[in-house]
């Protein structure tokens, strides 16, 4: 039994030393993720797929090994779930913390005003990302916002990239 407890403590000991020296930042999420990455100097594109929601992202995180080399994860998710406050956000953050044990989390607010999200109001989007904040994520302003097509190279991505880089430098 003592040997088993010792092996459980090893990751805690390693975690404390490893996490202090890391400065690798990744961006994960849906189809707008590459556009966010394009305008972010200090983070690299990682897990992303067009048309995905929280459940797909959870499954993708759950099959990965824990990555102790990542200190910040920028999350771009929610649009394809129509900002459903009852989606599995709790499990998402559990999976994020397991996959990236040393990381801080930064959320980019998604887009609405197009497709299935034509009738979404900004207040619903804000409420959705307040749940992310309650799990410890920093929320980037501005959101991608109400746009006709978020898959175009919009100026708002430049603003979002600058805000991400500013936040990453301050952490």
Spatial contact of 161 and 106, defined as CB atoms under 8 Å apart: no
CA atoms within 13 A of residue 168's CA, in its CB half-sphere: 24
pLDDT of residue 23: 80
Average pLDDT of the chain, as a whole number: 91
Structural tokens at position 31: 């189809």
Spatial contact of 168 and 25, defined as CB atoms under 8 Å apart: yes
pLDDT of residue 4: 47
Instruction: Give the tens place of pLDDT for each residue, 146-169.
Output: 999 999 999 999 999 999 999 999
pLDDT(71) > 80 = yes
pLDDT of residue 6: 44
Confidence of residue 85 (pLDDT cuts 50, 70, 90): very high
DSSP state of 65: P
pLDDT of residue 145: 98
CATH number at residue 132: 3.40.50.1110
How many domains does the chain contain in total? 1
Instruction: Give the tens place of pLDDT for each residue, 90-143.
Output: 999 999 999 999 999 999 999 999 999 999 999 999 999 999 999 999 999 999
* pTM of the shown model: 0.88
pLDDT of residue 86: 95
Q: Containing domain of residue 128, as a range? A: 22-170
Distance CA 107, CA 133 (A): 8
- Domain presence at residue 152: yes
Q: How many CB atoms lie within 10 A of CB 124?
A: 15
Pairing label, strands 138-140, 145-146 = unpaired
* H or E segment and range at residue 2: helix 2-18
pLDDT of residue 5: 44
Structural tokens at position 104: 């801080």
In order, the DSSP letters of 111-138 are EESSGGGTT--HHHHHHHHHHHHHTTPE
Burial class (CB within 10 angstroms; exposed 0-12, middle 13-18, buried 19+) of 28: buried
- Domain presence at residue 4: no
- Domain presence at residue 91: yes
- Domain presence at residue 12: no
- Domain presence at residue 13: no
């Amino acid at each position: 039994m003592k040997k088993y407890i010792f092996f459980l403590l090893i990751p805690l000991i390693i975690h404390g030393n490893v996490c202090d020296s890391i400065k690798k930042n990744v961006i994960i999420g849906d189809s707008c993720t590459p556009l966010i990455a394009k305008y972010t100097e200090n983070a690299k594109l990682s897990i992303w797929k067009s048309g995905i929601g929280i459940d797909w992202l959870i499954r993708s995180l759950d099959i990965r090994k824990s990555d102790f080399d990542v200190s910040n994860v920028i999350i771009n998710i929610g649009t394809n779930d129509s900002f459903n406050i009852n989606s599995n956000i709790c499990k998402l953050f559990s999976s994020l913390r397991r996959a990236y044990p040393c990381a801080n989390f930064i959320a980019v607010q998604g887009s609405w005003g197009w497709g299935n999200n034509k009738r979404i109001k900004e207040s619903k989007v804000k409420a959705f990302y307040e749940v992310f904040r309650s799990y410890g994520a920093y929320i980037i302003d501005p959101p991608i916002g109400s746009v006709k097509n978020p898959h175009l190279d919009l100026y708002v991505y430049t603003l979002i990239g600058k805000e991400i880089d500013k936040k990453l430098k301050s952490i």
